[in-house]
Structure 1
Amino acid sequence: MMKTTDTPSSRTARLADWLWAAGQDLRRQSPPPGRDDAAIAAMQARFAQRQATERRMRLRWSLVGPGLCASVLVACVWLVNLAPPDRDGTTLSRGSDFIVLVSADRWAAYEKAGAGTAWLVPTEVPRERLALLGLPYDPATAAEPVHAELLVHASGDVLAMRVMP
């Protein structure tokens, strides 16, 4: 509380005395010398522990990207190796470049009979026929022939066709 007889200069002097006394008291109460070293060692141990945890997390997340890419690649290869039937039942023969032109039953019968019952015949096919097989087709070049090979059964049935480059 402020007395009525206090002047601003006496209040300032009294405050300075209190601050000086508090500073002297703090200097006398300095912590033991080992406490600073213990505090620094504890901070360094906690920092090293946090760094190790962050390193494990970074390693874990760094493996997610390549793992995801590898699984997508495996799925794509698996899907490409499937031979989906076309709208009219034609399929792409697995392991070859032939486009199967007969039903699945007829193709299975040919495969069961063996390759000796068919011939490979080179020919030229109008480019417009590629659109009927679901292959890319450019109307500007419709008149140009395409080199192809036909797999013809002994009965005369065309079993499959392969477009040559």
Structure 2
Amino acid sequence: MTVEPDACAVAHGAPEANPDARTLVAVFASPVARYLLTYAADLGYHTVLFEPDAARATDVRSACDIRTAMPSVDKTADVVVTDHHRTELGPVLRDALAQDARWIGVLGNPRHEGPHVSALTALGVPAVDIARVHRPVGLNIGSRKPAEIAVAVLAGLLADRNDKPGGFEF
């Protein structure tokens, strides 16, 4: 395996020559969102919590921007919905899909159809747009705890951003 010299320098603490501007929007305050935002900031993401209910946002103590309205996102943004049980799921995803996010995903059990499908269909969102929503999200590492789920999600986002399959395939 050949390692590029620039990669070694970065691994030893040198700043990246041309770091990509990256944003992670965690949708809905949750235990997973708390870890996701903390770890994402460590990875160089600009972190944003979108929580329409300001009272719920107090549980997230990460150094992130907190918004009660969906922030504007562009091709540098990854949007992760961290609670698929919220009644706002459909409208939130519809609004995210109307923007130019690089990647949109919803946490949830892959053995069941995600509730986002029926919520978006009921709002008249075309099937081609609904198909842009990733589910499941993250690498399949058997995550069960919120911190583990956050690690799996971020690893999956990094693999996708770098056009890699993730896992141990190189």
TM-score bracket for the superposition, by shorter chain length: under 0.3
Task: Give 1 or 2 for the bigger CA radius of gyration.
Answer: 1
Q: TM-score, normalised by structure 2?
A: 0.21
Choose between structure 1 and 2: higher helix proportion: 1
